[in-house]
């Protein structure tokens, strides 16, 4: 069996750690494993499948002999992706640095696997909120052509990394002991515990945030459809893990709720969890630490003719980041593109 030399840039972060777990769980055929991070993490020891690896600092020279470089280190992508490509690696990048570059495919394997074929060295992983939404919507788009999407997200604290997760935990502990305690936020713009914050990433000229515009740009790119319009409101909620989304779609052809459920039941990567009589619907506590996208509360929209409403939940560190990246790597292997 052919083995692949794999580098992980940002190996010590939340997504980097999850990448290691996913690679091990899925038995990815790794020859050499190189763990890279910023100078701050140099020398840390991380265990992978029973072997200890020492984290090295990422430099331009880090990628000799590497076949696949998984980037999970935010700012490192712009700094080192070109060096990795020049060294002969295929880069799978989790940041937004290359997502909107027409020369770079943006891929969710359940949605547009064919786009990996035209990669020129870099493949971008979409934003976590986009990934779970398009996995749920692509089969409905194929069946009835979605014209418009209105989505509100309920994004977990760990979307902002380990720092966000710790900030929520600390605030909850402090406020449980003293509801009037003074809170100084750092990872988020405001106190997150016992609050919701309608602000993720930076505001744009049109008063949407960049997190919201990512869902518009990325859906258009992966659906190969510049007509489809997405209006998102991205909200941070005091949940540790798994993003939720209330999604309303308007389709060209009418889809009944029953038809939509039948389609979703058979859709790749989707679990239909929709049994309202028994209070069954997706929730972040149920989806956390799993790789699938859960859809429920499927109903016909009473506010427009060809409308459907759905509730979509997925673990944003797994399917929204690491699992999707590893699935792309698996596609590259399967299609002999690396
Ligand atoms: O906040 C979340 O829930 C998801 C965060 C994603 C994120 C955070 C910082 C930078 C991204 C992303 O993947 O879009 C980026 C980025 O723009 O690379």
Domains 4-125+321-334 and 130-316 share a fold: no
> How do the domains of the chain map onto residue ranges?
4-125+321-334, 130-316
Hey, whose CA ends up nearest to atom 4 of ligand 1? 159
Alpha-carbon distance of 47 to 256, in angstroms, equals 50
User: 36 with 58: CB under 8 angstroms?
Assistant: yes
pTM for the structure as a whole:
0.97
d(CA 198, CA 288): 22
Q: State the pLDDT confidence band at 74, using cuts at 50, 70 and 90.
A: confident
Supply the CATH classification number for the domain 4-125+321-334. 3.40.50.720
Query: How far apart are alpha carbons 155 and 60 in whole angstroms?
Result: 34
Please report the pLDDT score of residue 1 as a whole number.
84
Burial 248-269 (b: 16+ CB within 10 A, else e): bbbbeeebebebbbebbeebeb
Can you give the pLDDT at residue 73?
A: 73
Alpha carbon distances (Å) from 195 to 168, 174, 192, 290: 10, 14, 5, 26
- Ligand 1 site residues, Cβ closer than 6 angstroms: 74, 95-96, 127-128, 155, 159-160, 200, 214, 316
What are the φ and ψ backbone dihedral angles of 300, each rounded to 5 degrees?
-80, 135
pLDDT digits (tens, 9 = 90+) for 85-125: 999 999 999 999 999 999 999 999 999 999 999 999 999 99
DSSP sequence for 30-41 = EEEEEEEE-GGG
Coil, helix or strand for 266? coil
Q: Say if residue 170's pLDDT is above 90.
A: yes
Active-site choice (128, 141, 216, 309)? 128
Nearest CA to ligand 1 atom 2: 159
Question: For the chain, how long is the longest CA-to-CA vector?
Answer: 61
pLDDT tens-place string over residues 273-310? 999 999 999 999 999 999 999 999 999 999 999 999 99
In the reported structure, the alpha carbon of residue 131 is separated from the centroid of ligand 1 by a whole-number distance in angstroms of: 12
The residues, any chain, with a CB within 8 Å of residue 182's CB and separated by 6 or more, are none
- Residue of 19, 128, 320 to mutate, ligand 1, most atoms within 8 A of C-beta: 128
- Look at residue 124 in the predicted model and tell me its pLDDT: 98
Judged against a pLDDT cut of 90, whether residue 335 lies above it is answered with yes
Q: What is the pLDDT of residues 226-264, one digit of tens each?
A: 999 999 999 999 999 999 999 999 999 999 999 999 999
Rounded distance, CA 245 to CA 295, Å?
10
CA dihedral over 230, 236, 242, 248, signed as positive or negative: negative
- Ligand 1 pocket test, candidate residues 211, 216, 241, most atoms within 8 A of CB: 211
- % of the chain exceeding 90 in pLDDT: 99
Number of H helices, E strands in the chain: 8, 14
Distant-in-sequence, close-in-space partners of 107: CB < 8 Å, separation ≥ 6: 113, 115, 116, 123, 124, 125, 126, 222, 328, 331
* 82 alpha carbon – ligand 1 mean position (Å): 21
Sheet architecture: strand order including 293-300: 229-236, 146-155, 243-251, 307-314, 293-300, 270-272
Which band of pLDDT confidence, cut at 50, 70 and 90, is reported for residue 157?
very high
Please confirm, yes or no, whether 304 is among the known catalytic residues.
no
Strands (E), 157-315: 229-236, 243-251, 270-272, 293-300, 307-314
Look up 216 and say whether it is catalytic.
Answer: no
Determine the atom of ligand 1 nearest the C-alpha atom of 243. 3
Kindly give the pairing relationship between strand 243-251 and strand 146-155: antiparallel
- Mean of all residue pLDDT scores within the chain: 97
CA 200 to ligand 1: nearest atom: 1
Topology (CATH) of 130-316 = Dihydrodipicolinate Reductase; domain 2 (3.30.360)
pLDDT tens digits, 134-147? 999 999 999 999 99
Contact 325, 19 (CB under 8 A): yes
Query: Of 119, 141, 216, 243, which residue is the catalytic one?
Result: 243
Helix (H) / strand (E) element for 78: namely helix 76-86
Q: Contact at 8 Å (CB) between 207 and 125?
A: no
CA 127 to ligand 1 centroid distance, Å? 6
Average pLDDT over residues 166-192: 97
How does pLDDT run across 199-227, given as a tens digit for each residue?
A: 999 999 999 999 999 999 999 999 999 99
> What local confidence, expressed as pLDDT, does residue 256 receive?
98
């Amino acid at each position: 069996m052919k083995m692949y030399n794999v580098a992980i840039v940002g190996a010590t972060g939340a997504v980097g750690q999850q990448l290691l777990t996913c690679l091990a769980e899925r038995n990815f055929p790794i020859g050499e494993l190189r763990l890279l991070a910023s100078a701050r993490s140099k020398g840390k020891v991380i265990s992978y499948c029973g072997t200890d690896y020492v984290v090295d600092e990422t430099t331009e020279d880090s990628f000799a002999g590497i076949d696949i470089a998984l980037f999970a280190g935010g700012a490192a992508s712009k700094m080192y992706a070109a060096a990795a490509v020049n060294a002969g690696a295929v880069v799978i990048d989790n940041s937004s640095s290359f997502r909107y570059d027409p020369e770079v495919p943006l891929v969710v394997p359940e949605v547009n696997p064919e786009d990996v074929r035209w990669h020129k060295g870099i493949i971008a992983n979409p934003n976590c909120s986009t990934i779970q939404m398009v996995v749920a919507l692509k089969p409905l788009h194929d069946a009835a052509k979605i014209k418009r999407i209105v989505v509100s997200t309920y994004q977990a604290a760990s979307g902002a990394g380990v720092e966000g997760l710790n900030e929520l935990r600390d605030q909850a502990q402090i406020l449980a002991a003293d509801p009037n305690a003074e809170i100084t936020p750092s990872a988020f713009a405001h106190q997150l515990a016992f609050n919701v914050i309608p602000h993720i990433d930076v505001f744009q000229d049109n008063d949407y945030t960049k997190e919201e515009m990512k869902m518009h740009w990325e859906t258009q790119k992966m659906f190969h459809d510049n007509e489809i319009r997405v209006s998102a409101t991205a909200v941070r909620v005091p949940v540790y893990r798994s993003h939720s989304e209330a999604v309303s779609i308007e389709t060209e052809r009418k889809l009944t709720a029953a038809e939509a459920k039948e389609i979703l039941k058979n859709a790749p990567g989707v679990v239909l969890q929709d049994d309202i009589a028994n209070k069954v619907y997706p929730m972040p506590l149920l989806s956390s630490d799993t790789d699938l996208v859960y859809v429920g509360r499927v109903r016909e929209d009473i506010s427009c003719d060809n409308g459907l409403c759905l509730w979509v939940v997925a673990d944003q560190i797994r399917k929204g980041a690491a699992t999707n990246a590893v699935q792309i790597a698996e596609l590259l292997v399967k299609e002999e593109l690396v």
